[in-house]
Amino acid sequence: MAAPKHRRTALERVEKFLSDTYFTDCNLRGRLLGDRCPLASLSCFQTPRRIPYAEAVEREFRPAKVGDSFGPTWETCWFKVELSIPPTWAGREVHFIWESDGEGMVWRDAQPVQGLTKEGEKTSYILTSSLKETEPHSLTLYVELACNGLFGAGKGSMIAPPDPDRRFTLSKAELVVFNRNVYELLVDLEILLDMAQLLGEENQRSFQALYTANQMVNMCDVMDPSTFPAARDLAAAIFSQRNGESQHTIHAVGHCHIDSAWLWPYEETIRKCARSWVTVVRLMERNPELTFACSQAQQFEWVRSWYPGLYAQIQDFVAKGQFIPVGGTWVEMDGNLPSGESMVRQFLQGQRFFQEQFGRICSEFWLPDTFGYSAQLPQLMRGCGIRRFLTQKLSWNLVNTFPHHTFFWEGIDGSRVLTHFPPGDSYGMHGRVEEMLKTVKNNKDKGRVNHSALLFGFGDGGGGPTQKMLDRMKRMSDTDGLPRVQISTPDRLFSVLEKESSQLCTWVGELFLELHNGTYTTQAQIKKGNRECERILHDVEVLSTLAVAQGGAFQYPASQLQRLWRLLLLNQFHDVLPGSCIQLVVEDALQYYTEIRSAGAQLQEEAVQSLCRELLQPTAGSAESTLVLNTLPWERTEVISWTGPDRKKTLALVTVPSMGYAIVRELSLPPQPVAVRKQEDGSIAMENGVIAVCLDMMGRLTSLRLVGSERESVPDGCYANQFALFDDVPLYWDAWDVMDYHLQTRKPVTMLLKPLEITLDGGLRGSASFSLQIGEGSTLTQEIILDATCPYLRFLTQVDWKEAHKFLKVEFPVQVRSTNATYEIQFGHLQRPTHWNTSWDWARFEVWAHKWLDLSEHGFGVALLNDCKYGASAHGNVLSLSLLRAPKSPDATADIAHHQFTYAVMPHLGSFQDAGVIQHAYNLNFPLHAVPATSAQCLSWSAFSVSSPAVVLETVKQAEDRPEAVVVRLYEAHGSTVVAWLQTSLPVKEAMLCDLLEQPAARGHLPLEQRGVRLSFTPFRVLSVLLVLRQ
């Protein structure tokens, strides 16, 4: 009989033959599982803690049954499962089936052996593939069940705050006979059906697949397995028809993206890693061709500590080249907000871990799910032994489609890395025909390269690859009409792309994600903790290094610093620092920052005590004085506030040399004291000889002038330091997104609670303060401060924030005209347009910056500095800083708290580079340290200085592997080519260039000259120098 004429009935006939909903009494799917057998016994206990196996098995278990429910959310249930396999099942494949809506882990003989997650299509543990008489028929397993799903426990929607009272039901627990021959036939038919449906009616291959599937249904008697082999032969004949030589090749790599914390806490992630990775290990035992790319050193470290048996198995598969560490970073960090040095440490800690544990560093940077990528990343990758980069997140762009999938990415210094976005636009593929076709069709670089990646496996909440995904792709390895699919490795893919790269295009500058712009502002306390702790660790390293170099008994606190850095790096994970996580995670993150602050303060005190011990101990003829330390690489003259012996706060104007200290006894007077006057209309004027300001009753700037030039910064009729409140209701991703339409809802904040009053009337410092009501129930109090000799006006701001779905910004309209504004990024800066000409311009209505942004025309400009904010924008002539958001998912309490932060405005002549904006932003973020001392003489000491203002000495630390050596890291900050001399008073006997992993560079030896060490920089170049000290 000929094949049916009607395409639709043939297609639907095959569908129903495979359906798990219809006709299961007589179709093939209904024969997948054979005989069933209940468990011999099931018992359990419940605990609020995540406890180790050894503790769990000692507990008292109570009887349990299928249909019972457990909870509430975040509890753990341990089940004792006693099995007895019927002897009549000899020769059969036997599975232990477990279905529940929580995440499970099977333990056998005190080792984890299989993850069980219904959402990850893993509901069975294979007890035997062919039951032999010699195998044990009775055994005891334990199942550890987490009362949370793959994506936490959102109430009503995935990203809603977790439902604290959710119950988790055990819906199946039994033994079954698994019919492998039925399974293989089902996979054959599924692939043919997909080919028939997706290759389209104009493609004859589609009809070949359809008619073959139809014929197979005719041949199969589901009650008679002897009819299956002939049907399978028909499928094999189709699958073995080969492609032409020009066909696209897909490199399939197993993957399991595990967010280190997101809709679940860090502690649950440890178990997610174990559940997912043990499943991968089981798959590798059965499929020696399977490869699995795995990132995040922190997750390896967790498994190493908590699951040593599993970790040993992983090490074996790493050695075999199947389990492949990728990424080279401690976690998959946010790509925008961590400082340059933090990003270096992500790679330093990650690559060193992979080298120590597996004998090699990673050769590709792996960041598939982060919300944008800084233009400094290519240089940092290259400095850490990486020239290849994989992500896919730009496929999420809301406005513009990114024009490439394979290209060279060039950073602000000119460094280039080969970059690949899997054209299927996902890191969680399932090995379906549809995905293969999308990968080819969607590829933006057809004709330039003919290879691409496909990452398969359940991800985000873990899960990873399944046997079925592998079996689907085996059938597509080289089948006419489909791209070639080979199980491959990232290295194999990139090696081929490198060979094909001559026609590739180059993208210059940042990879900006046109979505999730709210993450620059959400969870302000996490942002502040990050910036503060970056500063604390910088200062501890500088002071500890100097204390060691002074000689004496002081030991560099290397292991404590590693622990604190790793905590900070963990919190830079791309759902924690951005603020897109649940309340439990926020609490953990803030606790980690508290630990870093307190341990850091202790380490700093110890370093200062050692560095300056002679100056801090009373001696004959000594007098009360103050030791002031400066951890930045330039001399600073600033007003500081310190507590005198009488416990009174005193102001002093001090000058402290670069990276060193000064003893201050006499209070020096400023060349021009600060004058503060109240005018008749209630406004207040302040002046310090550098800038002159006029403030209205509401604390708004009506005038901001440079004294020497009389140049006015605030346009006529405008107010700077104007607070504005916006409605902030995104389309879905609440903590993540702020939409362009929020700008249409602007309401200036004008509800005055306390008008501006003078709080310090001048001399070394002038200040005035006021209070405003914001929205329904929030209040803002601000002290506006002008210090002697200081070129900027500071705004010390406190907000009691109680809003819902509102966004608070502060705006500075300025009398400057420029089509571009400049924003600080890691180790440099970049420009972004101030207009919305094209869709690429207006998609950047909300952007990120680090310590400053600046709008300049030739000869004049205005900069905004801040001490813990990241969201910003510059449109037309208005600079605005994003202060606070109030999203309700996934943390209903996000940002509802008391906040304190400082920002500053700095008008300047000339360019921002020549005016020292970069240095002043550092000064605002790195306050001088004042310590009571008892020194007789007024002395000062400097450890390091740099001859060029264009070069910033960012980091001074002990070398990782050489306690007698110091690593200093410098970068060119102006965007210029320059030679700079690094001077030091440390006893240096040898200097050499090294990479960011501290490996000495070939031909990197640097002569020690009279003027110091000569260093050559091109724009935004980062240089690391290894200084070996004389003992």
CA 779 to mean position of chain CA atoms = 32
The CA distance from 998 to 992, in Å, is: 10
Catalytic residue among 101, 188, 259, 369: 369
Instruction: Identify each DSSP E strand in 947-996 by its residue range.
Output: 951-958, 965-972, 978-984, 988-994
Count Cβ atoms below 10 Å from residue 745 Cβ, excluding itself.
14
- Do the Cβ atoms of 731 and 741 come closer than 8 Å? no
Which among 120, 92, 122 has a CA at the least distance from the CA of 106? 122
Class of residue 783 by CB neighbours under 10 A (exposed 0-12, middle 13-18, buried 19+): middle
What single string gives the DSSP state of each residue in 295-325? --HHHHHHHHHH-HHHHHHHHHHHHTTSEEE
Q: Strand, coil or helix: what is 342?
A: helix
Q: Which two tokens stand for residue 40?
A: 């011999």
Q: Are 793 and 908 in contact (CB under 8 A)?
A: no
> What CA–CA distances, in Å, run from 36 to 122, 123, 728?
18, 15, 54
For the CA atoms of 533, 537, 542, 547, the dihedral, rounded to the nearest 10 degrees, stands at 120
**3-state helix/strand/coil string of 279-290:** HHHHHHHHCCCC
Query: What element of type H or E holds 115?
Result: strand 111-116
Surface-to-core class of residue 595, CB atoms within 10 Å of its CB (0-12 exposed, 13-18 middle, 19+ buried): middle
Of 498, 528, 520, 496, nearest to 416 by C-alpha is: 498
The dihedral sign for the CA sequence 839, 843, 845, 849:
negative
Task: Report how far apart, in Å, the C-alpha atoms of 273 and of each of 106, 268, 346, 429 are.
Answer: 14, 9, 20, 19
β-sheet bridge partners, residue 486: 251
Smallest CA-to-CA distance from 250 within 39, 370, 112, 429 is with 429
Residue that is written with structure tokens 């502002």 in the block: 521
Q: Distance (Å, rounded) from C-alpha 1005 to C-alpha 723?
A: 54
Contact indicator for 894, 885 with CB cutoff of 8 Å: yes
Cα 621 from chain centroid? Answer: 55
Helices (H), 359-390: 377-383
Q: Identify the three-state secondary structure at position 278.
A: helix
Q: Are the CB atoms for 541 and 557 separated by under 8 Å?
A: no
Phi, psi at residue 895, to the nearest 5°?
Answer: 70, 0
Could you tell me the end-to-end alpha-carbon distance of the chain, in angstroms, rounded to an integer?
93
- Closest by CA position to 459, among listed 392, 365, 364, 371: 392
Tell me how far apart the alpha carbons of residues 757 and 720 are, in angstroms, rounded to a whole number: 18
Residue 376 three-state SS: coil
Tokens of 315: 């090490």
CA angle, residues 129, 131, 134, in degrees to nearest 5: 130
Q: CA nearest 90: which of 139, 35, 39?
A: 35
Instruction: Locate 55 and state its tokens.
Output: 């503790």
Max distance between CA atoms of the chain, in angstroms, equals 115
Q: Is 224 a catalytic residue?
A: no
Query: How open is the CA angle 795-891-170, to the nearest 5 degrees?
Result: 165
Provide the annotated active-site residues.
369
